[in-house]
Amino acid sequence: MTLKDEKLYIAMVGLPSQGKSTVAFRMQDVFRKNDIPTRIFNNGVLRRKYAPEMDTWSSHFYNPDNSDAVELRRNFALINIRNAKQYLAGKGQVAILDATNVSSDRRALIEEYLTDHPILYIQCVNNDEEIVNMSIRYKVKAPEFASLPEDKAISEFKKRINYYKMIYDDLGTEKNFLRMDSLHNKIFDEQLTDQLPLYSRIRDCLVTDVVKSLFLIRHTETYFNVDDRIGGDTDLTPKGMEQANALGLFFQKKKIAYIFTSEKKRTIQTAQAIQRLQQDCTIVPLKEFNEINAGICEGMSYDEIQRTMPDVYSARKADKYNYVYPGGEGYNTMKERIKIGVKKAFFLNRKTDNIMIIGHRAVNRMILSHFLYRREEDVPYIYIPQDKFYHIVATQDRKLFELKKYQ
């Protein structure tokens, strides 16, 4: 059997806002780049196209007791199941059914019709409530919610999720499945009865961070930068505002859907200058990207620390990566929260290939170390200027790291 003879159905499983579509598009992109014909069949696309008069924004449309809507949604699922089968009967090699598929009845329907090739179920789970809520806020920007105020749309979407929970049957009797933490790209359970084509490629794809285009920027000049002071929550200087405006002009022709920042004013002010020249761009402050907490040294200059706390200065200089500021943190102790922040940014950024993070010097060093694989002792010395930014591409087929000037 040749590679082109190996065909597979992939059925996504999971509640809304768990990352199913993001995972599906990631697999489609990887497969197509490797000349594996792949197509996604999304039930929601059919629902929005053919049933606009049904008020599909309403949670009642997803109520298991709404028999008319249940039958309509079943018909949309059947259309995609048949389309997927027809696709694999031709030149297609992988057909991805992108829907919740949370009930055993729905999965039985899939298996009733798709008997010609193996089926792999991929269940997406994300227990991070903050990220789920952010994802919901993104979803209610869709045209089907345009007639509703945001709070009403969010309420209806959460009710929709609760209706899906009522019919949720966990995987277990299916022949081939895996469960993954879609935020952390971790597979935590799997069962394979068949020898599945492409399984190693699928598994590798699911656990790999795919970065098509990451712009990693340090906030522009602040008053603390001028005085060589660390930490704090200071504003940008006039020069810093000029630098931020220059960044806005530089990125004006690139589509930036989200700008992820820390909770500090200097990163948000830098982001606002970029946001002003974008269409439909949202700034998302994440606590995980806050600068290293210098504890008792917050707001001090390095010269002051050396003069008034020589023991702190010398201890940190001896092992900058592992040193923890008294009452604060260090590079090593902030590692986990930075990793979570990066995962959140990747999970939420699904409108465009471009991801933008505006962070701080220590934060950006830790983010870069994730891609550059620097030795720990070298991480605190990675060059993070304020008049340049890092552009990173990290896929299974391409690696790019470049430091670019924007002025």
Q: What is the 3-state secondary structure (H, E, C) of 169-215?
A: CCCCCCCEEEEEECCCCEEEEEEECCCCCCHHHHHHHHCCCCEEEEE
Pairing of strands 176-181, 186-192: antiparallel
Tell me, what DSSP letter sits at residue 34? T
Whether 3-206 shares its CATH topology with 211-405 is answered yes
Q: What are phi and psi of 399, to 5 degrees?
A: -130, 130
What are the structural domain ranges in the chain? 3-206, 211-405
**pTM greater than 0.85 (yes/no):** no
Q: Report, in angstroms and rounded to the nearest whole number, the Rg of the chain calculated over CA atoms.
A: 24
pLDDT value of position 374 = 82
Q: Which pLDDT band, with edges at 50, 70 and 90, does 347 fall under?
A: confident
| pLDDT tens, position by position, 83-128 | 999 999 999 999 999 999 999 999 999 999 999 999 999 999 998 8
Fold of the domain spanning 3-206: Rossmann fold (3.40.50)
In the predicted structure, residue 301 carries a pLDDT above the cut 60: yes
- Count Cβ atoms below 10 Å from residue 163 Cβ, excluding itself: 17
How many angstroms separate the Cα of 25 from the Cα of each of 28, 34, 342? 5, 14, 19
Structure tokens given for 1? 């059997």
In the predicted structure, residue 80 carries a pLDDT above the cut 70: yes
The residue type at 360: H
β partners of residue 123: 13, 179
Hey, is 392 helix, strand or coil?
strand
User: Distance (Å, rounded) from C-alpha 76 to C-alpha 50?
Assistant: 9
Check if the beta carbon of residue 358 is closer than 8 Å to that of residue 269.
Answer: no
- Count Cβ atoms below 10 Å from residue 172 Cβ, excluding itself: 9
User: Distance (Å, rounded) from C-alpha 126 to C-alpha 180?
Assistant: 9
Name the class of domain 211-405. Answer: alpha beta
The set of residues, in sequence order, having a beta carbon less than 8 Å from that of 237 and lying 6+ positions away, is 221, 222, 223, 225, 226
